[in-house]
């Protein structure tokens, strides 16, 4: 059982220690649902392994806070349960999910329980399957099943930003690049054609690729194109007739999905390219008055200036719905998905305090 | 139930249509065992999915005939059941196993049942797991469990030779070439190092590799070095920290396993190379008097001259045991493991007739 009203670091570690790799979020979603149902001021709705809790105080504005429950796979050996390194303000919590993004989830859970009468109505969304293919995304499913639960005037994604404010996000596109061959017994390989050998050309182009940078609305977005998977081979004595390289292109929000698909197809000309998954980016949107108000209030607590978000996040989904959205959460985004993922405990309290100040603000309603 | 005394092509197709991919030979082994147990002149022994049947007539010489029951995986969609293309002597049977090596198995089953009083004692061995890692090989297991069942003065492997006589075989060695990287979120790939991209160097060396030829005891062996597998990638948004290329080196019988391992390690210098599986080749051995006698008798029926065997076969195992051995069986070895694997029915009868003539020969005892 999660104790939402207790120590924030203990709550954070309990959320992390309930492993929830994409597709396996049920136990954590159950715990989140049970804890939120204990809060009388919240209406709680469950959709698959997504849990929504909201106030209905009749405020003029509604804010959506969204955070995903899932993580990428654990390391081998597993980097859970969490461990604390250092003491006091310098302490860091190590382990899978500490950065992406159970810090944001823990802060949201604590505030959802604490803020019985926020100055703005709040919809708290905890969703599944953010780290995998776009069609599995729990927030996307919620938009299809219950669009009313996603509606709002402004949205905050609790993705890691080192407790700073990050606007927009790069788009993401995955494609399979297929290299054909002709199968043969490997003892008489000259009668076939080795698809893995032929894939050297695909890897050569990837190794030589220089990613672009693009300035959008005053922020500079860095692109990237990476192989995230490769497979080929049937048996230990068969010359393989197919090798497939899966690439992931992270493209600046100034490009459309179509632009991005064309770029990848052109780069791998001569090979069969199949786009398997794509999601557009989002422009920073910090010129929106609500976003500007949020930025002023939050940065008054945290310090710093807005920056670009490199990773794709569901701010893009809110942008498509016409809801201005930003990323704000504890944890260094450069450590997301890494084996040494870790979060300074000081950032948990800082994010909680900044969000609490904004959501409790007298002049917000 | 297999009808060993009926039409040879029908028996051949029944053996093929009982799919038996490596590790899944049980159903076929059961059928072979049942059919052989019905022959009163044979003593039958079962060891795992290997079936041994033998005469004990007190002849001066014992011949071992060995053929493996397993095949490489079926195609997608499956190339079974078999189908016959063409008519009469020009007919060919298409499908998985028709070349490697259910033709040799069918010929052996027919002769095992027919030759109640061969001029030489015969041990017929039908074994499992030849197409996979050497430590799984059913004939190797039999050597460990029941060496008496493998003993003999001469051995014939029913591997495909287009009904010609092929001597010796290349050795085979498999190794994993590991390319390391540093994991990162693919949205911030510049904080990691992509192992798949780095593997371009391994594939470049493979693509540029020119295999050698070596003359051994008058026959020319062609070598080969092929990637038979490649894997890398953890999730669709993670820069992978490892890419492993599995290579298979087929080396001339003039090289030892140690020579072969050194050659592969040298070729991939700069990377971590782990030999996972190796089996030495076998020199042709056609200067042995028994082999020469077999060659004379069989080639009198089939025509042609001895040639080299490129693929590794269990003649190498017999060579290690000091038993001269040759390859002789229906089916074009160039078609082994290929999607369009097929065997001319005429070669089935030719191989049966040649082996029958030799095993029944008055001057053989």
Whole-angstrom distance, CA of residue B103 vs CA of residue B71: 12
Whole-angstrom distance, CA of residue B161 vs CA of residue B99: 9
Partner-chain residue, chosen from A72, A227, A250, that has the shortest CB–CB distance to B194: A227
Let me know the angle formed at the C-alpha of A332 by A331 and A334, rounded to the nearest 5 degrees: 140
If you write DSSP's letter for every residue of B148-178 in order, what string do you get? Answer: HHH--SEEEE---STTS-EE-B-EEEEEEEE
B340: enclosing H helix or E strand: none
Q: Among this protein's residues, is A130 annotated catalytic?
A: yes
For residue A18 the two structure tokens come to 């309930």
Cβ atoms < 10 Å from Cβ of A87: 8
Establish whether the linkage from the previous residue to B227 is cis, with ω within 30° of 0: no
Contacts of B100 in chain A (CB under 8 A): 185
Contacts of B198 in chain A (CB under 8 A): 207
Among A229-233, A234-238, B117-121, the minimum mean pLDDT is found in A234-238
Q: Give CA separation, B281 vs A30, B260, B278, B337, in Å.
A: 60, 11, 10, 20
Residues ≥6 apart with Cβ < 8 Å to A216: A168, A252, A253, A254, A283, A284, A308
Give yes or no for A251 touching B (CB within 8 A).
no
Q: Give CA separation, A92 vs A9, A10, A99, A159, B170, in Å.
A: 10, 13, 11, 18, 58
Residue A338 confidence (pLDDT): 87
Q: Give CA separation, A260 vs A186, A280, A317, in Å.
A: 38, 9, 18
B326 DSSP β-pair partners: B156, B167
- CATH, range B174-279: 3.30.70.360
Residue A286 confidence (pLDDT): 84
Query: Inter-chain contact B229–A206, Cβ cutoff 8 Å?
Result: no
Q: Give CA separation, A234 vs A194, A238, B73, in Å.
A: 12, 6, 8
Q: What is the pTM of this model?
A: 0.72
3-class state of residue B341 by DSSP: coil
Residue B364 confidence (pLDDT): 38
Q: Note whether A142 and A149 are within 8 A (CB).
A: yes
Q: Give CA separation, A298 vs A157, A291, A352, B138, in Å.
A: 14, 10, 10, 70
Residues B48, B50, B51, B54: what is their CA dihedral angle, to the nearest 10 degrees?
Answer: -120
3-class state of residue A238 by DSSP: strand
Whole-angstrom distance, CA of residue A257 vs CA of residue A320: 13
Whole-angstrom distance, CA of residue A199 vs CA of residue B162: 33
Instruction: Encode pLDDT of B214-263 as tens digits.
Output: 998 888 999 999 999 999 998 898 999 999 999 999 999 999 999 999 99
Instruction: Encode pLDDT of A69-97 as tens digits.
Output: 999 999 999 999 999 999 998 999 999 99
Residue A362 confidence (pLDDT): 44
Whole-angstrom distance, CA of residue B209 vs CA of residue B207: 6
Partner-chain residue, chosen from B183, B184, B312, that has the shortest CB–CB distance to A187: B312
Residue A92 confidence (pLDDT): 98
Residues ≥6 apart with Cβ < 8 Å to B199: A203, A230, B179, B230, B232, B243, B245
Q: Which residue has the higher pLDDT, B78 or A288?
A: B78
**Maximum alpha-carbon separation in chain A:** 79
Contacts of B176 in chain A (CB under 8 A): none
Whole-angstrom distance, CA of residue A284 vs CA of residue A316: 10
Q: Note whether A237 and A187 are within 8 A (CB).
A: yes
| Burial group, residue A363, by CB count within 10 angstroms (0-12, 13-18, 19+) | exposed
Residue B363 scores a pLDDT above 60: no
Give yes or no for B198 touching A (CB within 8 A).
yes
Query: Inter-chain contact A185–B240, Cβ cutoff 8 Å?
Result: no
Whole-angstrom distance, CA of residue B51 vs CA of residue B61: 21
Q: Which of B133, B202, B215, B132 is nearest to B168 (CA)?
A: B215
For residue B134 the two structure tokens come to 């050497």
Residue A292 confidence (pLDDT): 86
Whole-angstrom distance, CA of residue A86 vs CA of residue A108: 25
Query: Inter-chain contact A236–B192, Cβ cutoff 8 Å?
Result: no
| Domain locations along chain B | 8-169+282-359, 174-279
If you measure CA to CA, which chain B residue comes closest to A190? B224
b/e code B253-287 from CB counts within 10 Å (16+ = b): bebebeebbebbbebbeebebebebbbbbbbbbbe
| Residue to substitute from B170, B186, B245, interface A, most A β-carbons within 10 A | B186
Give yes or no for A234 touching B (CB within 8 A).
yes
Q: Which of B187, B190, B237, B234 is nearest to A134 (CA)?
A: B237
Helices (H), A92-208: 102-114, 138-145, 147-150, 195-198, 200-208
B93 DSSP β-pair partners: B84, B343
> B200-208 and A200-208 helices cross at what angle (nearest 10)?
140
Q: Which of B167, B148, B153, B174 is nearest to B52 (CA)?
A: B148
Q: Note whether A163 and B267 are within 8 A (CB).
A: no
Establish whether the linkage from the previous residue to B218 is cis, with ω within 30° of 0: no
Query: Inter-chain contact A237–B207, Cβ cutoff 8 Å?
Result: no
Query: Inter-chain contact B206–A191, Cβ cutoff 8 Å?
Result: no
Instruction: Encode pLDDT of B313-355 as tens digits.
Output: 899 899 889 898 999 999 999 899 889 999 999 999 999 999 9
Contacts of B231 in chain A (CB under 8 A): 230-231, 233
Partner-chain residue, chosen from A191, A250, A337, that has the shortest CB–CB distance to B238: A337
Whole-angstrom distance, CA of residue B64 vs CA of residue B151: 8
Closest approach of B73 to chain A, Cα-based (Å): 8
Instruction: Encode pLDDT of A146-187 as tens digits.
Output: 999 999 999 999 999 999 999 988 999 999 999 999 998 898
- State mean pLDDT over B4-19: 97
- State mean pLDDT over A1-12: 96
B328: enclosing H helix or E strand: none
- State mean pLDDT over A199-219: 94
Whole-angstrom distance, CA of residue A180 vs CA of residue A201: 12
Tell me which long-range contacts B58-61 makes (C-beta under 8 A, separation of at least 24).
B58/B121, B59/B118, B59/B119, B59/B120, B59/B121, B59/B365, B60/B120, B60/B365, B61/B120, B61/B121, B61/B153, B61/B154, B61/B290, B61/B364, B61/B365
Stated length of chain A = 365
Whole-angstrom distance, CA of residue B284 vs CA of residue B309: 8
Residues ≥6 apart with Cβ < 8 Å to B251: B170, B171, B172, B173, B223, B259, B260, B263, B281
| Residue to substitute from B228, B307, B333, interface A, most A β-carbons within 10 A | B228
Whole-angstrom distance, CA of residue A203 vs CA of residue A173: 18
Residue A31 confidence (pLDDT): 98
Size of interface A-B (CB pairs under 8 A): 219
Residue B152 confidence (pLDDT): 95
Instruction: Encode pLDDT of B135-161 as tens digits.
Output: 899 999 999 999 999 999 999 999 999
Cβ atoms < 10 Å from Cβ of B234: 18
Residue A310 scores a pLDDT above 70: yes
- ipTM of the complex, rounded to two decimals: 0.72
A53 DSSP β-pair partners: A44, A124
Q: Which CATH architecture has domain A8-169+282-359?
A: 3-Layer(aba) Sandwich (3.40)
Q: Which of B32, B67, B65, B70 is nearest to B51 (CA)?
A: B32
For residue A100 the two structure tokens come to 């992406």
Whole-angstrom distance, CA of residue B38 vs CA of residue B40: 6
A232: enclosing H helix or E strand: strand A224-232
Cβ atoms < 10 Å from Cβ of B16: 27
């Amino acid at each position: 059982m999660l104790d939402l009203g207790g120590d924030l670091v203990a709550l954070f570690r309990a959320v992390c220690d309930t492993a929830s790799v994409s597709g396996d979020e049920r136990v954590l979603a159950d715990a989140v649902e049970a804890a939120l149902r204990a809060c009388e001021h919240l209406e709680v709705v469950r959709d698959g392994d997504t849990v929504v809790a909201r106030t209905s105080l009749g405020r003029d504005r509604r804010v959506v806070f969204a955070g995903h429950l899932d993580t990428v796979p654990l390391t081998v050996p597993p980097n859970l349960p969490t461990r604390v390194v250092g003491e006091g303000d310098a302490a860091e919590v190590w382990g899978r999910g500490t950065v992406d993004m159970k810090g944001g989830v823990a802060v949201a859970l604590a505030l959802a329980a604490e803020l019985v009468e926020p100055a703005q109505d709040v919809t708290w969304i905890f969703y599944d399957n953010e780290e995998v293919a776009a069609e599995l995304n729990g927030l996307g499913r919620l938009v299809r099943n219950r669009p009313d639960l996603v509606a709002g005037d402004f949205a905050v994604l609790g993705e890691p930003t080192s407790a700073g404010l990050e606007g927009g996000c790069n788009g993401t596109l995955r494609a399979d690049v297929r290299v054909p061959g002709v199968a043969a017994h490997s003892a008489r390989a000259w009668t076939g054609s080795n698809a893995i050998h032929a894939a050297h050309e695909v890897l050569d182009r990837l190794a030589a690729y220089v990613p672009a940078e693009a300035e959008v609305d005053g922020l500079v977005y860095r692109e990237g194109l990476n192989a995230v998977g490769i497979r080929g081979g049937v048996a230990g004595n068969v010359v393989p007739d197919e090798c497939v390289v899966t690439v992931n292109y992270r493209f600046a929000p100034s490009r459309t999905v179509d632009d991005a698909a064309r770029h990848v197809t052109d780069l791998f000309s001569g090979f069969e390219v199949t786009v398997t998954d794509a999601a557009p980016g989002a422009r920073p949107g910090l010129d929106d008055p609500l976003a500007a108000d949020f930025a002023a209030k939050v940065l008054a607590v945290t310090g710093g200036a807005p920056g670009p978000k490199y990773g794709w996040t569901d701010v893009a989904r809110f942008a498509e719905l016409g809801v201005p959205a930003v990323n704000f959460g504890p944890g260094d985004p450069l450590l997301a998905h890494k084996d040494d993922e870790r979060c300074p405990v000081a950032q948990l309290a800082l994010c909680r305090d900044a969000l609490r100040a904004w959501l409790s603000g007298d002049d917000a309603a």
